[in-house]
Structure formats: C-alpha cells, structure tokens
Structure 1
Amino acid sequence: MCVALVVGNMIGSGVFMLPASLAPYGWNAVFAWLITIGGAMCLALVFARLAQAFPRAGGPFAYTEEAFGRPAGFLVAWSYWISVWVANAAIAIASVSYASVFVPALAKTPGLAALVTVAVVWAVTAINCVGARAAGWTQLLTTVLKLLPLAAVAGLAGLILLRKGPAAIAPFEPSALSAGGVTAAAALTLWALLGVESATIPAEQVDRPQRTIPRATLLGAAFTGLVYLLVSSGVLLLTPVAVLQTSNAPLADFVAFHGGGDLRLVLAAFASISALGALNGWVLLQGELPAAMARDGVFPAWMAKTSANGTPVRAHLLSSALVTILVLANYAKSLADAFTFMALLSTASSLFAYLFCSLAVLKLGREGRMPLSPGLAIVAGVAAIYSAWTFYGAGWSVTFWGLVLLAAGAPLYVWMRHVGRRSSESVE
C-alpha cells in the first residue's frame, strides 16, 4: 500500500494532462523530464534516509523541525499543506477534464465543470473519512487500473516508431533549445513527480516504517520516472503541437490522431479513474498532515480530533472546503488553463519543503544525528540546488501567489505561539 500511495500520488493527473501544457516547449520538455527525474530521485533518497533516521508522522515538517526548530517546521508544514490542497484542486479538474470526452458540456460550460469538480472532491473526501485502510485499498485498486492505459499509450508510441521510423518524431532543432525553456518546462514536469514524500506523512499508520517507507519511496519514484519519460515524451514528440495545445484530454487525442478510434474513449475513462486515484491519495495526506501538525502543537488542537476509526475528519473537512473555494474562484478559466495554474502553484508551495528537507540532511548529518556519507551529502546538495532552480522556473506570477499564501500563515503561527505560552504558564 505504501508503494501504491507513492506511485498513485505521483501518477495522477500529470501524465494525462501535462502534454497539453508542455506542447509549446517541444524538445525543451524532453530535457526537462530528464532533469526532473534526476532531481526527483535525489529527493527520494533524501526522504528515504530521513524516514530511516526519524520515523515520525508529518514527513517534511518532522524532518525540518528536527534540523531547524519550530519556526522553520511551521513554514514547511504550512507551505506543504497548501501544496496538497491546491494539488487536489488540479487533480480533480484533470479528472473532470477527461470526463468531458463523454460529456462535452463540461468543456463548454465552465460553471458546470466547476460544480462537478467540487462534487468529485467531496465524494473522495467521504471515502477518506471512512478510514485510512479504506483509502489504502482504493489507492491500490486505482493504481493498478491507471497503469493499463499508460502501457497502451507507450505501446502505441512504439508501434508508430516501428511503422514510420524517425520521420514520425518532431524534428530536433538545437536553435529551439534554451535555458529558459528547459527551466519553465521543468517547473511543470516536477508537478507530475510531486508525491515522492507521500509515504512519510502517515508514518504512524505504516507497519515497520523505518524499513517500509524508504523502500516504497525509492521504488515508487524510480518506477514513476520511467513511466513518465516513456509516455509523456512519446506523446509530445509524436503529436503535432496544434493538436495538444488546445486539448482537454491530450492522451486521448494522441490516440485519436493516430487512428485509435474508439480506444480514445477507453483511454479517457481510464485517465479519469487515474486522476480519481491520485485525488484519493492526496486527500488522505490533506487530512493526515494537519492532524499530525495539530498533535505537535503547530496547528490548532481541534484539527487533531479523530473519529472512532482514527480518521481526522475535521482536518479533511477544512482542507476540502479550501479546495472548493479555489475551484470556484477559478471557474471562469478553461479546464486546461485552470489545471496549469494550479499545478504550478502547488509545485511552488512544495518546493519550500523539498529545499528545507534537503538542507536538513546536511545539517543533521554534520551534527551526528543521522548517518551522512559523502555520497548522501552530494545527493542532498544536488536536491537543494534543484529545488531552488525549479522554484525560479515556476515564474513570477505563481511565485507571488505562493508567497501570499505563505504569508497568510503568519497570524496562525503568532497565535499558536501565544497559545503555547499561555499553556506553559498555566502549568507553572
């Protein structure tokens, strides 16, 4: 289930929607994928080693607090929580976007699409409120289902290459490559690989976390990177840019363009299911993370309250309410445009956690609080540089809104410090 959580959260909407967002970048996007997969594997090793040394619930927050104290821990917890519920908005939009293949009104009527997206969010929230095991089995089933269409797309790409040869591939023009193009594309490709840390969040509900979480993290990241490289690059290089740029269902349109016929409908159905599976895994995190923070006194205590089956229902309800507001606030945009904006915003918010956790390995290792080999030090350093570089690539608009959301947590931090001081004074 841990591997399914990592793979299911990483393979969600990205592989099915990103070809449309990446279409303008051409071969820049292929190089961006290679860099992103390398960066993601460095991050996977960072989280694997941190999970071995500190098998605490809360993942990025727990590791950052260990290294840099409570203020930095709060910053990471707040930004990561934002990235999770913003990601859920993007993933739910992706699911509805592929459903528009069957219900064209969803693509033509933004208000209807927004309402259906909100309904999907709350349906998955209800599943997670039943309990983590129910969410785990749902994740396992949808992860298996989502791999079937990806295998079909990769197989079709291979057949096209065998039948038409190199002539089928978009021509490689070195003059079209640019550092800016690769950087901008890499900010989008990282969205597809967010979730490498997924198994570290619900550590208290994982059997033998010191062994299970690192293995699931590394295996899940490597497998997902390979899938993305084969599928996304194949679609990008074998489909005209004009077909992808305007598509709400790029993989389905790739199949249709190459004569897939009714297979387009089958692929669209599986793509929608895939996004639902990823949404299920991320909704699990959007409840577990703030609940863990509340138990540590970082977030308000009422968010730590659980139901009889141990589910943080209050945290789930608050997070899904924020997702609802975000979706409705962007309902006027097309499905593809809304997805791209939210994907970048979620990525930018996640990068705070990735940067701090990479630096945490170096600090904790230097202090002798966890093993730090020369190889791990190099990997952590590369992961930190990669995180900072991708943050730059997200663009100023997304960075601005990310900083606004980050600043919104300042009053909560001040209030929680005040509550903490009052509690300590009453004990004295």
Structure 2
Amino acid sequence: NVAIGISAVGYLAGFFPWLSSTPIATTIGVIGLLWLTTVANFGGPGVTGKIGSVTVWGVILPVGLLSVLGWFWFKPDTFAAAWNPSGMSLGEGMSSSIALTLWAFLGMESAAQNSSAVENPKRDVPLACMFGTLGAGVIYVLSTTVIQGIVPNADLAESTGPFALAFAHMFNPTIGTIVMALAVLACLGSLLGWQFTIAMTAKSAADERMFPAFFSKVNNMGAPLAGMLVMGVVQTVLALSTISPSLSEQFGVLVNLAVVTNVIPYIIALSALPLMMQHGGVAKGKYRVNVAVAVVAMLYSTFAIYASGKDAVMGGTVVMAIGFVIWGFIASRFAPGKPGAVQA
C-alpha cells in the first residue's frame, strides 16, 4: 500500500512539483494519502465500492487505449535502444525484474476473501483468480512493451508519470496532463480498496482468534475502524523507515519488502497443498499434476526471495520473527480439543 501511495505521489508531482523535491516532501505526501484513504474507508464497504467503481476507469482508459492505439506510434528503434540498456545477462535481468513482476500480481488471491458474497464461490473464485491473472498479464505485457517503443528509455527512467509521458508523446502535453490526473485517480482508488481489504483481512483473523479481538470491531457503517487505524500507523512507520533519495528508489525498497513478506505465506500454503489433496481424496493423476506445479511455484518463489536482495530478506525475517512471537502468545487457543482448533 505504501508503494501504491508512492506511485500516486509520483503522478501528483506533475501538478505539485514540490512533492518530489525532497525525500521528506515525498514521504509527507505518501503519509497524507495513506491517511486520506484510511479515513475515506470509515464509510464502510458501500462507500468504498462506489468510489472504486469510478476510480477504476482511471487505469482502464489510459492503459487500455495505450495497449491498443499506442502501436501506431511504436518505433522499433526506440524499443531496441531500451532493450537491456545495462547490458545484463539473462540471469541478471531475471533477478532484477522478478520482484517487480511478482509485486504486480500481488493480491490475486484476494478474490477468495469475498467468497461469501459470491453465488457459486467454488466455481467462480478460482475462475476469477485464473482469468484475472491471465488478463492482467496480457495487459502488462502489451502496455509496457508499447510504451518502451514510444518514449526513449532515458526519459522513462526519469519520469514519475510514465503513462502520462507516453500520451504526451503520442498527442500533446494537455492530453498527457489529463492522463496524469486519471492515473492519480486510479492510484487513489486502488489504495482505497487495499486499505479496506487489509483491514478486513485483520478482522477475519481476529474473528478466528488469530489477532487481538479489537480488530473485529466495526463501526455503524460496517468498517473495521480499529484495524484501519492500526494499519495506518504501521504504514506511516514503514513510509518513514524507507525514506530514500528518490521516488524510484523508495518504491524499489518497498516492492522488494512486499514481495518477501507475501511470498513466504505463498510457500507455506504450497507446502500444505499435498496434505489438503490427500484429505480431499483427489485423484492420483490430478494429485501428481498439482504437486508438480506446486514444486515449480515453490522454486520460483524461493528464487524471488533471493532476488529481492539481502535488505528485503532481512526486513522479511524481522516481520516473520514478530509473527512467531505473537503466535507464541495465542497458540494455546488452538490446542486440540479447544474451540477454534479445527477452524485454525
């Protein structure tokens, strides 16, 4: 969420240059957006959903149009010049990009969190995850490929609003400014939704007695107020602790940390898959295929942790250690024979 806030500040800097003038100014802007979207969620899921249904067009319109129309401005020479400008080997290139690639897909599993509101969750939730991931992948590849053939790599590297810059190259600066405003809208909408999702995740954990009980409390509008406030404080501390000389550097630090802290639960979930399939009586053929896919996914996830760098691994280790300490205090709640043990 802090990384999304940095993206929003990057686009806002096109309107308010002082936001990117110093690391302190950038951090103040990020913290301000984090708390703005936190407070906006106090109105509950109804308000969040209505705002999100509007802000989502801020990303659909420019990215969709760029992916389709941008090819008319695509220049092979510009794209070729942007291909591996640092002269990295294939392995080095994969290592440097894997964290950002995974970060782009983080949250694909969040569809399962709303399964109670789906008519046929057993069928629709897996389909939403699969097709949503595939669709996003296609859009990512198209948009990032075409933009590198429109805008010179050096300009992209220095820009805090690459999509706006692309439209400015395609049309004129006014169109670029409009796209920049849409991007700000999209980032704010995304941040708004994620703030609510994180608070609801904490509430779900509290409902299962894995988090303190106050995370379960909601206001009259159905918003988990306590969870939102706690998450806001944590995000503020994270924004302050990752202050970097530039937007891109701070974004990179947060992306790497986010990948490590999210991939570890993925690996744990993958390790539980064989046992779940055994208890579910999955056919041998399907069992073998799923295990093979799980092994590949675990290897990929492990490599992603390595590629994220020692600082991110250290930060992830600290987060995991804190989690173990907390678990030590609440593990007795789930001892065999006690209520909640089966659900846990």
Q: What's the TM-score once normalised by structure 2's chain length?
A: 0.87
Corresponding residue of 1:107: 20
Within 1, Cα distance between the matches of 2:199 and 2:317? Answer: 23
Written as runs of structure 1 = structure 2, the 5 A alignment for 1:157-236 is: 157-161=70-74, 164=75, 166-171=76-81, 176-236=88-148
Corresponding residue of 1:14: none
Q: What amino acid does structure 2 have at the position aligned with 1:211?
A: R
Within 1, Cα distance between the matches of 2:243 and 2:314? Answer: 21
1:151-176 C-alpha deviation (Å, 9 max, x unpaired): 23224530123xx4x33421567974
Q: Is the 8 A contact 1:170 1:238 kept in 2?
A: no
Q: Tell me the SS of whatever aligns to 2:167.
A: helix
Corresponding residue of 1:405: 319
Corresponding residue of 1:346: 258
Corresponding residue of 1:385: 299
The structure-2 alpha-carbon separation of the partners of 1:177 and 1:415, relative to structure 1 and needing over 3 Å to count, comes to same
Written as runs of structure 1 = structure 2, the 5 A alignment for 1:276-425 is: 276-331=188-243, 333-368=245-280, 373=286, 374-417=288-331
Most deviating of 205-214 and 358-367:
205-214
Q: Tell me the SS of whatever aligns to 1:408.
A: helix
Alpha-carbon shift at residue 218 of structure 1 (Å)? 1.9
Within 1, Cα distance between the matches of 2:246 and 2:63? Answer: 25
Q: Is the 8 A contact 2:78 2:152 kept in 1?
A: no
1:190-221 C-alpha deviation (Å, 9 max, x unpaired): 11111111111243444443233222212211
Structure 2, unpaired ranges of 5+: 340-344
Corresponding residue of 1:261: 173
Alpha-carbon shift at residue 257 of structure 1 (Å)? 4.5
If asked which structure has higher relative contact order (CA below 8 Å, sep 6+), I would say 1
Within 1, Cα distance between the matches of 2:332 and 2:277? Answer: 33
Within 2, Cα distance between the matches of 1:167 and 1:278? Answer: 34
The structure-2 alpha-carbon separation of the partners of 1:243 and 1:314, relative to structure 1 and needing over 3 Å to count, comes to same
Written as runs of structure 1 = structure 2, the 5 A alignment for 1:242-253 is: 242-253=154-165
Most deviating of 293-302 and 202-211:
202-211
1:135 pairs, out of 25, 29, 48, with 48
Written as runs of structure 1 = structure 2, the 5 A alignment for 1:14-163 is: 88-161=1-74
Within 1, Cα distance between the matches of 2:253 and 2:84? Answer: 28
The structure-2 alpha-carbon separation of the partners of 1:407 and 1:197, relative to structure 1 and needing over 3 Å to count, comes to same
Q: Is the 8 A contact 2:206 2:216 kept in 1?
A: yes
Within 2, Cα distance between the matches of 1:325 and 1:173? Answer: 35
Within 2, Cα distance between the matches of 1:280 and 1:387? Answer: 28
Q: Tell me the SS of whatever aligns to 2:80.
A: coil
Within 1, Cα distance between the matches of 2:14 and 2:259? Answer: 27
Q: Tell me the SS of whatever aligns to 1:197.
A: helix
Within 2, Cα distance between the matches of 1:116 and 1:353? Answer: 31
Q: Is the 8 A contact 2:58 2:182 kept in 1?
A: yes
Within 2, Cα distance between the matches of 1:103 and 1:169? Answer: 30
Corresponding residue of 2:342: none
Alignment coverage as a number of residue pairs = 334
The structure-2 alpha-carbon separation of the partners of 1:233 and 1:278, relative to structure 1 and needing over 3 Å to count, comes to same
Q: Is the 8 A contact 1:202 1:288 kept in 2?
A: no
